[in-house]
Amino acid sequence: MNFNEERQKRTEYIEEILKRYLPKKEGYQKIIMEAMEYSLMAGGKRLRPMLMLETYRLFGGEKKVIEPFMAAIEMIHTYSLVHDDLPAMDNDEYRRGRKTTHIVYGEDMGILAGDALLNYAFETAALAFDEEDADCAKVGKAFQVLARKSGIYGMIGGQVVDVKESGHAVSGEVLDFIYRLKTSALIEASMMVGAILAGADEEVVGTIEEIAGKIGLAFQIQDDILDVTGTTETLGKPVHSDEKNEKTTYVTWKGIEKAKDDVAAMTKEAVDGLEKLPEKDGFLRELLISLISREK
Amino acid sequence: MNFNEERQKRTEYIEEILKRYLPKKEGYQKIIMEAMEYSLMAGGKRLRPMLMLETYRLFGGEKKVIEPFMAAIEMIHTYSLVHDDLPAMDNDEYRRGRKTTHIVYGEDMGILAGDALLNYAFETAALAFDEEDADCAKVGKAFQVLARKSGIYGMIGGQVVDVKESGHAVSGEVLDFIYRLKTSALIEASMMVGAILAGADEEVVGTIEEIAGKIGLAFQIQDDILDVTGTTETLGKPVHSDEKNEKTTYVTWKGIEKAKDDVAAMTKEAVDGLEKLPEKDGFLRELLISLISREK
């Protein structure tokens, strides 16, 4: 199999896991299960569970205990998009080429669907305690990392500063803070959880956190680049939105050529960091490189 | 010490725990820590952590492992109020006699403060894995119960149906469903987590769940009664809101006298259930009885 086939195979496996962990659509509260499915199954690259799985495999992991965490991280990523799109936040009507959750289900259900996905992420991850041969201490540790990186010292913290600083220019330092928390933190969680559950020691988990941080930054800067160079058709969302919102981005800060160079440089650093490890994973290396040239 | 002094002592202990687990107000995202503190430290009965602590003690628990869970359950309760008060939900400007979180911090920060409290609740509970002598399997089990009872099969599920069915009359069956999920589920979680962490066996945890379910129902019906008989001054929120919103409540369904009788009967059943256990806790008994005659 070539890289694209390998990637497709993994994406299908992840989609199968997501479907398996989604709640049955039943009961008086059925509408919330529908809204959760609508937002979670809207497509997307499934990058976070893919990085988690691949890091888990990199360190020799081969049990089912990773699966609930793979579902959980994608649920957390998805809830953050659902709440980001709300009228009081970015007020977006389209995402991945489809109407956003609050447009389809109403604003109240949009809020509740986000809450439900966040809560259900932890509920799902907690199923890992029941997995046969699960190492309770490792699962507990993975839980701590997942929760911390999703919260005020991670993704939510970045989102808070992004919202607070919107509508005016921000310094490079603040921009860097936002990117590290809003985007990198969840990528860090993905790879760290994979490493922890596979039994990597603390120092190695620290190395993985650093590598993941660079991947997250490169990923976010590429997003800024695509907002300038991409098309609505390919991205499934409006382009030039940053310019319209007079938003400081890495591109407005450093210029598009420098931004492209930095994405390549950060990705190379991440790949080099991986190469230094005794463990090898050709797919992971190719996945990181593919992210530089992605068009959506 | 008499009952009121005992209760006051426990309330102060809980407030001390909440303050201890609240994040430091620092960093670019400081505003979210402020909003979290504003909503969490707005007073309230602290009933859920109090029931958790007392159930833990009832079964002989005496370690620190309960404390992060006590903080977590109050954070979950608080986030649900913050999101309930949002303009797209109940659109309330006052709660416990103070302006609601989104009024003070803006609607975007209201959404994010709720998200932050929910996420931080799990982040805080996960600290229990690090407590000295913590039994990992018991903490994992407590985690599962906390997450499930807070989510779509618990509190959020009840809230979803409450929102969906608002603005028109609902059947007694639906009303019962809403109350059991929206209010009882978190009371059940409180007492079950206390029992689990203290080492009660599965059957006993089931008995506690049943008792807690009755307490939750009685508590919610008493809320409906107070909306009719209470004053804004005592309650710290507008009264007659159910009537204004043409909302079906236990009082509109069964009449106020029957509602009062049922609160007393359900409380008696809960107290009787506790009395049947070999373990005894005089404070818990008095706490339950005090809830019937509460004025706020």
pLDDT in tens, A113-155: 999 999 999 999 999 999 988 899 999 999 999 999 999 999 9
CB contact under 8 A, B119 and A150: yes
Domain spans of chain A, in order of start: 3-292
Number of Cβ pairs < 8 A linking chain A and chain B:
167
Q: Is the pLDDT of residue A32 over 80?
A: yes
Report pLDDT for A80. Answer: 98
Report pLDDT for B1. Answer: 84
Return the higher-pLDDT residue of B109 and A232: B109
C-alpha count within 13 angstroms, C-beta hemisphere, residue B101: 31
The average confidence (pLDDT) of chain B is 94
Report pLDDT for B234. Answer: 75
Q: Is the pLDDT of residue B19 over 80?
A: yes
Token output for A250: 């890495």
C-alpha count within 13 angstroms, C-beta hemisphere, residue B125: 34
Report pLDDT for A194. Answer: 98
- Kindly identify which residue of chain B lies nearest to residue A141, measuring between CA atoms: B129
CB contact under 8 A, B129 and A143: yes
Tell me what percent of the residues of chain A surpass a pLDDT of 70.
Answer: 100
The average confidence (pLDDT) of chain A is 94
When pLDDT is averaged across residues B93-113 and rounded to a whole number, the result is: 95
Q: Is the pLDDT of residue A96 over 90?
A: no
When pLDDT is averaged across residues A99-120 and rounded to a whole number, the result is: 98
Instruction: Report the range of poorest mean pLDDT among A206-215, B164-173, B286-295.
Output: B286-295
Confidence of residue B291 (pLDDT cuts 50, 70, 90): confident
Distance of CA A115 to the CA centre of its chain: 17
Confidence of residue A162 (pLDDT cuts 50, 70, 90): very high
A3-292 is a CATH 1.10.600.10 domain: yes
Residue recorded with tokens 């299908």:
A12
pLDDT in tens, B132-154: 888 999 999 999 999 999 999 99
Q: Is the pLDDT of residue A67 over 90?
A: yes
Return the higher-pLDDT residue of B122 and A44: B122
Q: How many residues does chain A have?
A: 296
- Kindly identify which residue of chain B lies nearest to residue A136, measuring between CA atoms: B136
Q: Name the residue type at position B165.
A: E
DSSP per position, B205-256: HHHHHHHHHHHHHHHHHHHHHHHHH--HHHHSS-SSHHHHTT---HHHHH-H
Tell me the residue ranges of DSSP E strands in chain A.
94-95, 98-99
Q: B282: how many CB neighbours lie within 10 A of its CB?
A: 9
Find, among B144, B34, B22, B26, the residue nearest to B75 by Cα.
Answer: B22
pLDDT in tens, A167-220: 889 999 999 999 999 999 999 999 999 999 999 999 999 999 999 999 999 999
Q: Is the pLDDT of residue A262 over 80?
A: yes
When pLDDT is averaged across residues A78-106 and rounded to a whole number, the result is: 95
Q: Is the pLDDT of residue A294 over 80?
A: yes
Residue A198 to residue B94: CA distance in whole angstroms: 49
CB contact under 8 A, B152 and A111: no
- Contact (Cβ atoms closer than 8 angstroms) between residue A122 and residue A149: no
CB contact under 8 A, B115 and A120: no
Confidence of residue B41 (pLDDT cuts 50, 70, 90): very high
Instruction: Report the range of poorest mean pLDDT among A93-97, B11-15, B38-42, B202-206.
Output: A93-97
Residue B98 to residue B170: CA distance in whole angstroms: 31
Find, among B96, B92, B112, B95, the residue nearest to B31 by Cα.
Answer: B112
Q: In chain B, what is the straight-line distance between the N-terminal and C-terminal CA atoms, in Å?
A: 23
Report pLDDT for B76. Answer: 98
- Contact (Cβ atoms closer than 8 angstroms) between residue A235 and residue A260: no
For chain A, the helix, strand and coil percentages under 3-state DSSP, each to the nearest 5 = 70, 0, 25
pLDDT in tens, A265-286: 999 999 999 999 999 989 999 9
Specify burial of residue B235 (Cβ count, 10 A radius: 0-12, 13-18, 19+).
Answer: middle
Residue B178 to residue B141: CA distance in whole angstroms: 25
Using a CB-CB distance cutoff of 8 angstroms, which residues of chain B are in contact with residue A141?
A: 129
Return the higher-pLDDT residue of A22 and B232: A22
When pLDDT is averaged across residues B6-21 and rounded to a whole number, the result is: 97
CB contact under 8 A, A152 and B28: no
ipTM score above 0.90: yes
Report pLDDT for B262. Answer: 95
Report pLDDT for B292. Answer: 80
Token output for A89: 């936040």
Using a CB-CB distance cutoff of 8 angstroms, which residues of chain B are in contact with residue A23?
A: 152-153
Residue B27 to residue A188: CA distance in whole angstroms: 20
CB contact under 8 A, A136 and B141: no
Instruction: Report the range of poorest mean pLDDT among A32-41, A233-242, A276-285.
Output: A233-242
Crossing angle of helices A66-84/A3-21, nearest 10°?
Answer: 80
Q: Is the pLDDT of residue B159 over 90?
A: yes
- Kindly identify which residue of chain B lies nearest to residue A36, measuring between CA atoms: B152
CA A157 to chain B, closest CA, distance in angstroms equals 6
CA A38 to chain B, closest CA, distance in angstroms equals 16
- Contact (Cβ atoms closer than 8 angstroms) between residue B203 and residue B239: no
Residue B231, phi then psi, degrees to nearest 5: -120, 150
CB contact under 8 A, B147 and A86: no
Instruction: Report the range of poorest mean pLDDT among A46-55, A264-273, B89-98, B262-271.
Output: B89-98
Residue recorded with tokens 């760290």:
A192
Report pLDDT for A265. Answer: 96
Token output for B223: 């809320």
- Nearest by CB to A136, which of B32, B137, B144? B137
Tell me what percent of the residues of chain B surpass a pLDDT of 70.
Answer: 100
Q: Is the pLDDT of residue A293 over 80?
A: no
Using a CB-CB distance cutoff of 8 angstroms, which residues of chain A are in contact with residue B157?
A: 27-29, 32
